[in-house]
């Protein structure tokens, strides 16, 4: 009615005494449907408003919990991970509830104490290293100087036969070579950790120069050195340092081979695959003692060697690591030792990219 919907109900009014022929009246009740719809809409709006208020209140509570509890805990977890990774400079902010702030203060106190203890240990280790270095250097220098002094006295005799004079001269030369190697190793040891000077150089040339130097060393006397696998392979390397690493491993292999029971022999093999370059140096000596396998790459470990300050393997490993690689120790089925310099191609390529950037900035 009137473009408006109604709900209707009718009831017949059939009362006694109504005359025949008279229509029975009906009572019709109409209720506007629009009014009911408005009420429902009003209720829905109230419900929606309450839901929005509840959502806003929940979001506010989540933000409050995040600010006072979750985020401080995440920061504390990050600090724990940093401390576990050796980062003693990670500081924690004292935010959150009182219990979290108390935990952060305790963690900060622990971090400071651990940092102080770590510094004390580093100082002690540094002093101990200096002491071992001084003791080892003093011993080796005294040994070389004593040999040179004694042989010089013998050489001063006019009655000495030429053959013996030549032998004494070779011993003096060996002592001088030993002192030179010692000083070179110490000098290179003090320079480890500095930036490399990479250039696109020949691996073949580096190896051949190292082999030539070792063959002229007294420790390689009577040792057969076999080189294989060389090719015109080039890569981004610090040729001087890498040559020193190869030289140290070759010299160490020659000394080990001379302690073996068979005719001393050292083999060097250059190999290449898709991921890396590998320089394998093997000797037929008695093998690496089990007692020093865990410490042989530490500085001033010279157990089982007749001479040397114990820096050869240390320097070789550090140089390999500076090139992004490492040194592996393997054994042949016969029990012979094989030291492998592993140089990943990706790391060598990165050295070339760094060198190009430096050259570009320099220009």
User: The tokens of 102 are what?
Assistant: 């108390």
For residue range 304-358, list pLDDT tens digits in order: 555 444 677 888 888 899 899 999 998 888 778 899 999 999 999 888 887 777 6
- The SS3 assignment for 325 reads coil
Q: What's residue 277's pLDDT? A: 93
Q: What is the DSSP letter of 247?
A: H
Q: What's residue 341's pLDDT? A: 94
Q: What's residue 327's pLDDT? A: 93
User: The tokens of 316 are what?
Assistant: 């070789």
Q: What's residue 216's pLDDT? A: 80
Q: What's residue 24's pLDDT? A: 72
Of the pLDDT bands very low, low, confident and very high (cuts 50, 70, 90), residue 225 is: very high
Kindly list the domain boundaries of the chain, sorted by start residue: 6-82, 192-362
DSSP β-ladder status, 199-202 and 234-237: antiparallel
d(C-alpha 69, C-alpha 62), whole Å: 10
Q: What is the pTM of this model?
A: 0.54
Q: Tell whether the torsion through CA atoms of 184, 312, 321 and 246 is positive or negative.
A: positive
CATH architecture of 192-362: 2-Layer Sandwich (3.30)
Q: Which residues contact 331 (CB under 8 A, 6 or more apart)?
A: 287, 337, 338
Percent of the chain scoring above 70 in pLDDT: 77
User: The tokens of 120 are what?
Assistant: 């004390």
d(C-alpha 114, C-alpha 82), whole Å: 13
Q: What's residue 337's pLDDT? A: 87
Asked whether residue 363 carries a pLDDT value surpassing 70, the answer given is: no
Averaged pLDDT for residues 95-99: 66
- The SS3 assignment for 8 reads strand
User: Which of 78-92, 130-144, 252-266, 330-344 is predicted with the least confidence, judged by mean pLDDT?
Assistant: 130-144
Q: What's residue 117's pLDDT? A: 83
Of the pLDDT bands very low, low, confident and very high (cuts 50, 70, 90), residue 110 is: confident
Q: Are 328 and 172 in contact (CB under 8 A)?
A: no
Q: Are 90 and 111 in contact (CB under 8 A)?
A: yes
DSSP β-ladder status, 26-32 and 199-202: unpaired
List Cα–Cα distances, 152 to 139, 147, 219, in angstroms.
Answer: 20, 8, 21
For residue 227, the cross-strand partners are 268
The beta strand positions in the chain, using DSSP E, are 6-12, 26-32, 199-202, 224-228, 234-237, 265-272, 276-283, 326-331, 337-344
Asked whether residue 192 carries a pLDDT value surpassing 60, the answer given is: no
- What's the chain's length in residues? 363
Q: Are 333 and 356 in contact (CB under 8 A)?
A: no
* Helix (H) / strand (E) containing 57: helix 33-65
Longest Cα separation, the chain: 175
Averaged pLDDT for residues 102-120: 78
d(C-alpha 229, C-alpha 267), whole Å: 11
The closest alpha carbon to 274, from 335, 346, 332, 168, belongs to 346
Stronger pLDDT, 164 or 14, i.e. the higher one: 164
Asked whether residue 303 carries a pLDDT value surpassing 60, the answer given is: no
Q: What's residue 75's pLDDT? A: 75
Q: Are 104 and 76 in contact (CB under 8 A)?
A: yes
Q: What's residue 362's pLDDT? A: 61
For residue 329, the cross-strand partners are 339
Q: Please compute Rg for the chain using Cα positions.
A: 43
Averaged pLDDT for residues 167-183: 76
Q: Tell whether the torsion through CA atoms of 262, 263, 264 and 268 is positive or negative.
A: negative
CA angle 162, 218, 178 (to 5 degrees): 110
For residue range 235-252, list pLDDT tens digits in order: 999 888 898 889 889 988
How many Cβ atoms sit within 10 Å of the Cβ of residue 285? 24
Q: What's residue 264's pLDDT? A: 92
Q: Are 281 and 256 in contact (CB under 8 A)?
A: no
């Amino acid at each position: 009615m009137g473009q408006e919907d109604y709900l209707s109900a009718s009831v017949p009014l059939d009362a006694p005494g109504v005359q025949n022929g008279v229509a029975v009246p009906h009572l019709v009740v109409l209720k506007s449907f629009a009014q009911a719809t408005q009420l429902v809409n009003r209720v829905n709006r109230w419900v929606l408003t309450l839901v929005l208020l509840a959502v806003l209140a929940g979001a506010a509570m989540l933000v409050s919990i995040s600010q006072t509890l979750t985020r401080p805990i995440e920061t504390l977890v990050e600090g724990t991970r940093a401390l576990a990774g050796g980062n003693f400079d990670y500081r924690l902010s004292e935010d959150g509830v009182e219990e979290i702030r108390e935990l952060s203060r305790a963690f900060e106190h622990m971090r400071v104490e651990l940092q102080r203890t770590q510094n004390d240990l580093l100082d002690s280790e540094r002093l101990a290293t200096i002491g071992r270095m001084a003791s080892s250097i003093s011993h080796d220098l005294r040994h070389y100087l004593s040999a040179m002094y004694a042989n010089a006295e013998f050489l001063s005799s006019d009655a000495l036969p030429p053959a013996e004079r030549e032998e004494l001269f070779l011993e003096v030369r060996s002592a001088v070579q030993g002192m030179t190697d010692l000083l070179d190793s110490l000098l290179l040891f003090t320079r480890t950790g500095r930036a490399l000077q990479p250039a696109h150089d020949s691996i073949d040339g580096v190896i051949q120069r190292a082999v030539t130097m070792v063959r002229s060393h007294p420790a390689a006397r009577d040792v057969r050195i076999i080189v294989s696998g060389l090719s015109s392979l080039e890569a981004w390397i610090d040729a001087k340092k890498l040559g020193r690493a190869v030289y140290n491993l070759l010299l160490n292999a020659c000394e080990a081979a001379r302690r073996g029971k068979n005719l001393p022999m050292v083999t060097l093999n250059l190999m290449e695959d898709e991921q890396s370059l590998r320089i394998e140096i093997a000797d037929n000596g008695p093998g690496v003692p089990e007692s020093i396998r865990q410490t042989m790459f530490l500085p001033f470990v010279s157990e089982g060697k007749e001479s040397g300050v114990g820096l050869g393997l240390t320097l070789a490993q550090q140089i390999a690591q500076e090139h992004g690689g490492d040194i592996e120790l393997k054994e042949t089925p016969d029990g012979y030792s094989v030291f492998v310099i592993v140089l990943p191609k990706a790391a060598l390529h990165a050295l070339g990219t760094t060198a190009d950037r430096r050259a570009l900035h320099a220009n």
